[in-house]
Structure 1
Amino acid sequence: MKQEKIDNLVEEAINIKPNSYSPYSNFRVGAAIEMNDGELFTGVNIENVSFGATNCAERSAIFTAISQGYQPKTIKAIAVSGDTDEFLPPCSICRQVMVEFCEPETPVYLTRKDGKVLETSVEGLVPFAFSTMDM
């Protein structure tokens, strides 16, 4: 992916972050995904007093794309933004959702508050992923 496209995707994740609904943790997260056709979708974490009902930014973005008619394996790249000192990785539930909806080599860009970006992949986040082939 070209650096300009990566920068734009990361910027989308950063810019959506203030829309987070996180009154309990005050831990804001933004995510942006680019589809294979260039369409962008964003998401934020949305908390609930019953934490099990909380939805993460990554899943919000992925589920929005799917609800708009995109099919599994059509995500080109993902960026995740938080206000953390270290690179912010997706939680394990989000990683499993990425396994379902992304190719293993799909790039994932993790950010931290100083603006640095770390590139990994879905396979890098979930090296021994449970998939439909395991069923």
Structure 2
Amino acid sequence: MSLLTAATEVRLRAYSPYSRFKVGAAILSVEGRVHVGCNVENVAYPEGTCAEAGAIAAMIAGGDTRIAEIAVIADSPAPVPCCGGCRQKIAEFADQGVRVTLHTTDGKSKVLTVAELLPGVFSAAHMDKI
């Protein structure tokens, strides 16, 4: 199953009664497995979970630790970029050259690397003490 197919299928299970904006994400781990997530809203905004964060949590829960590729899909006129928090979460588990493909439900897509998605990323290297 392709990442786009996996993201498309899980998007349909999103819980978005407030925004009605369903998002699906699928991660291919370095270990070769696909992990999916969908947005889960909560009436107490912003306490919901983004699709990308859900897919990362599923990856970690499944025993994998590194992202090889990620696909995100939403029903919008143009590919929807990941929020700032998800950009940081993705960067935690992916190398800077990893491909992030943003899709719309009508077939448009935009491919970025993690470095393009989050330039100037804050990393553990910034916390090293000299």
Counterpart of 1:99?
91
| Counterpart check, 1:130 vs 2:129 | no
Match of 1:83 among 75, 84, 95: 75
Counterpart of 1:41?
35
Q: Which protein is richer in helix relative to its size? A: 1
Match of 1:68 among 48, 57, 62: 62
Deviations 1:95-134 (A, max 9, x none): 0101111111110000113212211111110011111111
| Counterpart check, 1:58 vs 2:52 | yes
Unmatched tracts of structure 1, length 5 or more:
none
Moved more, 89-98 or 62-71: 62-71
Deviations 1:16-72 (A, max 9, x none): 11100000100000000001122101100000001121000000000111122222x
Secondary structure of the structure 2 residue equivalent to 1:11? helix
| Counterpart check, 1:118 vs 2:118 | no
Contact 2:81 2:102 in 1 (8 A): yes
Q: How many residues align?
A: 127
Off by >4 Å, runs of 4+ in structure 1? none
Unmatched tracts of structure 2, length 5 or more:
none
Q: Which protein is richer in strand relative to its size? A: 2
| Counterpart check, 1:10 vs 2:1 | no
Query: If the length of structure 2 is used for normalisation, what is the TM-score?
Result: 0.93
Query: If the length of structure 1 is used for normalisation, what is the TM-score?
Result: 0.90
CA distance in 2: counterparts of 1:54 and 1:108, whole angstroms: 22
